[in-house]
């Protein structure tokens, strides 16, 4: 039996996500960083995020801070060439939305010109000015609150947020400021389930949780986490559905063994020359000069 849900070919838009929240149908989002992963994810999910997690997942950095606009554009272009039916969201990397509205609009507008449907950026009230500038230019913005990985140094590590009264109430206030500024959805990351539930029920826009409990309007996990292709240690909120590394390594190992035993390649995996040419190749001898 196939578990691949045959989603409609309808393109996923902002009104479609809004309807999901209103009708309590869970939104499913994952990451893709290239055409291969985008083609795997597209028939399965509602939203594809070209996340700045590309930095640690694909590029070998320890966190997302070294990720540049050039890197994001490179990966976004690869995903966009597959023309996904899922909504395509591009993640604004560290320092790409902090300097000025001008710079922020150019960076985000560049994402849309490369095929993104919307951008995502981290932060609360401090980012409202930039979010308003983007929304004014018809650039849809997904907010991101809680354990915002670009704040890893300020947070002193990837720590669950909103665990004391001040932080919890500030997060609710930030969520409403982002909605007011025009965000069409919010990612809530690494916060207590009860806090995410309160945010979700008090907002009109959908929330997409990652380590934020079951009451969000949807869930997001990194593609390589769900499929067991990331590192060896996963955050508590990850559920690994296949040991992708083991599975792929088994396939690769069978091929390597066939190469070493001579079983690969077989005649049907090889090319032949026309009969008339065979004789001249067999009779050929190297010239003295070569
Ligand atoms: N592969 C991958 N998956 C992610 O979810 C992810 C990335 N990369 N890169 C960017 C950020 C970093 N993220 C992280 C990384 C580590 C934890 C983590 O280890 N958290 C602790 C919380 C401890 C606590 O405060 O209680 C945990 O044990 O879950 C959480 C989120 C989420 N994002
Ligand atoms: C984990 C998701 C929400 C993200 O921001 C990323 O992949 O960069």
**Structure ipTM:** 0.97
Gap between the Cα atoms of 258 and 115, Å rounded: 42
Match 């509602």 to its residue by tokens: 46
Binding residues: 52-53, 91, 120, 122
Ligand 2 contact via 12 beta carbon (within 6 Å)? no
Asked if the peptide bond before residue 265 counts as cis, ω within 30 degrees of 0, the response is yes
What distance in angstroms lies between residue 197's CA and the mean position of ligand 1's atoms? 20
Cα–Cα nearest to 163, from 147, 144, 174: 147
What distance in angstroms lies between residue 75's CA and the mean position of ligand 1's atoms? 22
Which ligand 1 atom is nearest residue 64's CA?
10
| Backbone phi and psi for residue 244, each to the nearest 5 degrees, phi listed first | -60, -40
Query: What is the predicted pLDDT for the residue at 2?
Result: 54
Contact criterion met (CB below 8 Å) for 150 and 65: yes
- What percent of the chain is helix, strand and coil (3-state, nearest 5)? 45, 15, 45
What global pTM score does this model have? 0.95
Asked if the peptide bond before residue 3 counts as cis, ω within 30 degrees of 0, the response is no
In sequence order, what are the residues at sequence separation of 6 or more whose Cβ sits closer than 8 angstroms to the Cβ of residue 286?
A: none
Going by the DSSP 8-state scheme, the letter that residue 75 receives in this structure is H
Give, for all 290 residues of the chain, the pLDDT tens digit: 455 655 667 899 999 999 999 999 999 999 999 999 999 999 999 999 999 999 999 999 999 999 999 999 999 999 999 999 999 999 999 999 999 999 999 999 999 999 999 999 999 999 999 999 999 999 999 999 999 999 999 999 999 999 999 999 999 999 999 999 999 999 999 999 999 999 999 999 999 999 999 999 999 999 999 999 997 889 999 999 999 999 999 999 999 999 999 999 999 999 999 988 988 999 999 998 75
Gap between the Cα atoms of 26 and 17, Å rounded: 9
Binding residues for 3-methyl-2-oxobutanoate: 52-53, 91, 120
- Burial degree of 99 (CB within 10 A; 0-12, 13-18, 19+): exposed
Query: What is the predicted pLDDT for the residue at 4?
Result: 60
Ligand 1 contact via 147 beta carbon (within 6 Å)? yes
How wide is the angle at C-alpha 138 spanned by C-alphas 171 and 112, nearest 5°?
95
Catalytic-role residue among 22, 23, 138, 189: 189
Going by the DSSP 8-state scheme, the letter that residue 222 receives in this structure is -
R_g (Cα) of the chain, nearest Å: 24
Binding residues for Mg(2+): 52, 91, 122
Ligand 1 contact via 31 beta carbon (within 6 Å)? no
Ligand 1 contact via 160 beta carbon (within 6 Å)? yes
Cα–Cα nearest to 118, from 108, 106, 127, 128: 108
Instruction: Please name each of the domains of the chain with its CATH number.
Output: 14-243 (3.20.20.60), 247-283 (no CATH)
Gap between the Cα atoms of 234 and 253, Å rounded: 25
Mutate to test the pocket of ligand 2, among 189, 196, 225, 226 (most ligand atoms within 8 A of CB): 189
What distance in angstroms lies between residue 158's CA and the mean position of ligand 1's atoms? 6
Gap between the Cα atoms of 141 and 108, Å rounded: 9
What are the b/e assignments for 12-30, b being 16+ CB within 10 Å? bebebbbebbeeeeebbbb
Query: What is the predicted pLDDT for the residue at 1?
Result: 41
Closest residue to atom 23 of ligand 1, CA basis:
159
Is-catalytic flag, 22? no
Q: Sign of the C-alpha dihedral, residues 161, 166, 169, 173?
A: negative
| Backbone phi and psi for residue 208, each to the nearest 5 degrees, phi listed first | -125, 115
Ligand nearest to the CA of 33: 2
Gap between the Cα atoms of 107 and 97, Å rounded: 8
Contact criterion met (CB below 8 Å) for 264 and 258: yes
Q: Tokens for 121?
A: 């950026």
Question: What are the beta bridge partners of residue 91?
Answer: 120
């Amino acid at each position: 039996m196939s578990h691949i849900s045959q989603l409609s070919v309808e393109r996923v838009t902002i009104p479609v996500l809004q309807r999901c929240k209103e009708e309590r149908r869970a939104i499913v989002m994952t990451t893709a960083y290239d055409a291969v992963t985008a083609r795997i994810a597209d028939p399965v999910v509602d939203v594809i995020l070209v996340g700045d997690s590309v930095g640690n997942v694909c590029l070998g950095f320890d966190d997302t801070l070294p990720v540049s606009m050039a890197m994001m554009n490179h990966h976004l272009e690869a995903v966009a060439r597959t023309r996904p039916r899922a909504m395509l969201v591009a993640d604004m990397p560290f320092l790409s939305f902090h300097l000025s509205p001008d710079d922020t609009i150019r960076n985000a507008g560049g994402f849309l010109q490369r095929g993104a449907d919307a951008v995502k950026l981290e932060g609360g009230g401090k980012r409202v000015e930039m979010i308003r500038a983007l929304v004014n230019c018809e650039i849809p913005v997904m907010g991101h609150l809680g354990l915002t990985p670009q704040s890893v140094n300020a947070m002193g590590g990837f720590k669950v947020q909103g665990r004391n009264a001040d932080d919890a109430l500030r997060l609710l206030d930030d969520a409403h400021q982002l909605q007011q500024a025009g965000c069409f959805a919010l990612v809530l990351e690494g916060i207590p389930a009860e806090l995410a539930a309160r945010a979700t029920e008090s907002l009109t826009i959908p929330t997409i949780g990652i380590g934020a409990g079951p009451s969000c309007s949807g869930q997001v996990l990194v593609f390589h986490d769900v499929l067991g292709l990331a590192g060896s240690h996963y955050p508590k909120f990850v559920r690994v559905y296949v040991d992708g590394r083991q599975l792929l390594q088994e396939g690769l190992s069978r091929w390597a063994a066939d190469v070493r035993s001579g079983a690969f390649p077989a005649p049907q995996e090889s090319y032949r020359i026309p009969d008339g040419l065979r004789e001249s190749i067999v009779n050929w001898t190297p010239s003295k000069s070569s």
